Amino acid sequence: MGWIEASIVLFGGLVAVMGFGLSVAFAFLAVNIIGALFFLGGEQGLSQLARNAVASVTSFSLTPIPFFVLMGEVLFHSGVALKAIDAFALLIRRVPGRLAVIAIVAGTVFSAISGSTIATTALLGSLMLPTMLDRGYDKKFAMGPIIGIGGVDMLIPPSALAVLLGSLAGISISGLLIGGIIPGLILSVLFVGYIVLRAWLDPTLAPQMHLEAGPAGLKRWVPFLVHVLPLVLIFGVVVGAMTAGWATPTEAAALGATGTIVAAWLYRSLTWANLLKALTGTVAVSGTILFIIIGATTFAQVLSFSGATNGIVSLVAAQNLSATVVILGMLLILLFLGCFVDQVSMMLITLPFFMPLVQQLGVDPIWFGVLFLICMQLGLLTPPFGLLLFTMKGMAPPGISMNDVFRSALPYVWFGVLVLALVFLWPPVATWLPALLGG
């Protein structure tokens, strides 16, 4: 069987199995078993499949994932986030679209201590959306910032998907985590500027409300110093420990998880009940991710043995295209896939082909990894299957339609495309900070 037929069988089988409603993990597992029988030598292939599965989930590079997920789960279940939002509300006073701006600023801080985009969106959606709607905010203007900043969580460390991408693609995990910081902050600044400008031009989108007199002078900063600064320090410890070489990404993630739990305990917000919820959520998310990794690594090996990987890479290389054109083509494929499949599936489908080409073309892997992350972030916001769109629909009142949710996310999709173009045209946006900090 040639590599073209093998590609059709493997990918066609994958699409068919997923079409029957099977989850991503089980779909890849089913195709891997069939592929092992045909391309890895029957029973010996199944034995090799089992060995690869064990080796894939015992990799030390994957251990930051549960720690990063735990940080977000503790933040979500302990109520620490609510106190941080109240602190920002005291500082952000006379600005158009005030509540939407607070959502962006708070979401950016939460991104620095949460490894889950969905958790950030659900948290802000449950806390901020009802308040904005009660104050007369336009429904799309209220939902958009929460959806947009939820996607930024993928770029700003800690990010479980960034760790997964780095592990599957063979990219420096610490470099990839650090490389997403500047693009993520640029997105947050663009979001704030857009909100303020739109609310200033059209005050009906975000009616000004009467603010009760709050603490004056330095007293206004006390809640920020007490409830926000420690969270920022946790982020600093995670990034600083990695970049200084004091800790591996796993050890830094463990420090961050410990710091988050200790902070929740010091705030008297940590109970056995919400700690158990956080641990249960961590096990559920991490277990799902690790099970998917089994499918990813074995699928890549089946593709390699079938000749599909080498065939496609050779076909592209024979066209004598420049690295710029090839990378641009990859990004277009990722943007298209982001509209229809989840982020993990994007990695599983594309990385076996993309990374050999990236290595052959001599492309900076951290630069490509950040571009990949931005494409996945956009996939969270693009209809018809963006995960954050459905998360927001679950948080929204019954009167808000799915079309309203789609339209609310559209401006933030365009800002994501703008930052993607910026990183593509000027790679130092993604590579300068990792090089400076030794990531």
Chain center to CA of 201: 32
Q: Dihedral through CA 282, CA 376, CA 24, CA 146, nearest 10?
A: 50
Quick one: tokens of 416? 């994501």
H-helix or E-strand spanning residue 98: helix 98-111
**Is residue 20 exposed (0-12), middle (13-18) or buried (19+ Cβ within 10 Å)?**
exposed
User: What percent of the chain stands above pLDDT 90?
Assistant: 21
Q: What is the pLDDT of residue 182?
A: 94
* Lowest pLDDT segment from 9-13, 85-89, 185-189, 395-399: 9-13
Q: How far lies 138's CA from each of 88, 96, 99, 202, in Å?
A: 22, 13, 12, 11
Cα 50 to the center of its chain, rounded Å: 29
pLDDT of amino acid 402: 84
Confidence of residue 18 (pLDDT cuts 50, 70, 90): low
Give just the sign of the alpha carbon dihedral 361, 364, 365, 370.
Answer: negative
Question: What would the pLDDT profile of 249-288 be if each residue is shown by its tens digit?
Answer: 888 888 888 988 998 888 888 888 888 988 888 887 777 7
pLDDT in tens, 66-107: 888 888 788 777 878 778 888 888 888 788 988 899 999 988
Measured between alpha carbons, how far is 44 from 381 in angstroms, rounded to an integer? 43
Residue 392 pLDDT level (bands cut at 50, 70, 90): confident
Backbone φ/ψ region at 289: left (φ over 0), alpha (ψ -120 to 50), beta: alpha
Expressed in angstroms, the distance from the first to the final Cα of the chain is: 43
Is this prediction's pTM over 0.85? no
Whether 147 and 388 have beta carbons less than 8 Å apart is answered as: yes
Instruction: Rank 64-78, 177-191, 300-314 by mean pLDDT and report only the highest.
Output: 177-191
The pLDDT, as a whole number, for residue 188 is 94
Predicted confidence at residue 23, as pLDDT, reads: 66
> Quick check: bond before 411 cis, omega within 30?
no
What is the identity of the amino acid at 25? A
Region 370-378: mean pLDDT is 93
CA-to-CA distance for 368 and 327, rounded, in angstroms?
8
Query: Region 226-246: what's the mean pLDDT?
Result: 84
- Specify the pLDDT at position 29: 77
The reported pLDDT for the residue numbered 50 is 76
pLDDT over 90 at 190, yes or no: yes
Confidence of residue 432 (pLDDT cuts 50, 70, 90): very high
Q: Inform me whether the pLDDT recorded for 426 exceeds 90.
A: yes
Average pLDDT score over residue span 378-391: 82
Match 């490894």 to its residue by tokens.
115
- Quick check: 294 pLDDT over 70? yes
CA distance linking residue 247 with residue 88, whole number of Å: 32
- The pLDDT of residue 94: 81
Structure tokens at 159: 């990010």
Among 171-185, 314-328, 376-390, the range with the most confident prediction by mean pLDDT is 171-185
The per-residue pLDDT of the chain, averaged, comes to: 83
Averaged pLDDT, 120-125: 81
pLDDT tens digit sequence for 313-350? 677 767 778 888 999 999 998 888 887 777 877 887 78
What pLDDT sits at residue 112?
79
Residue from 344, 331, 365 nearest 296 by CA:
344
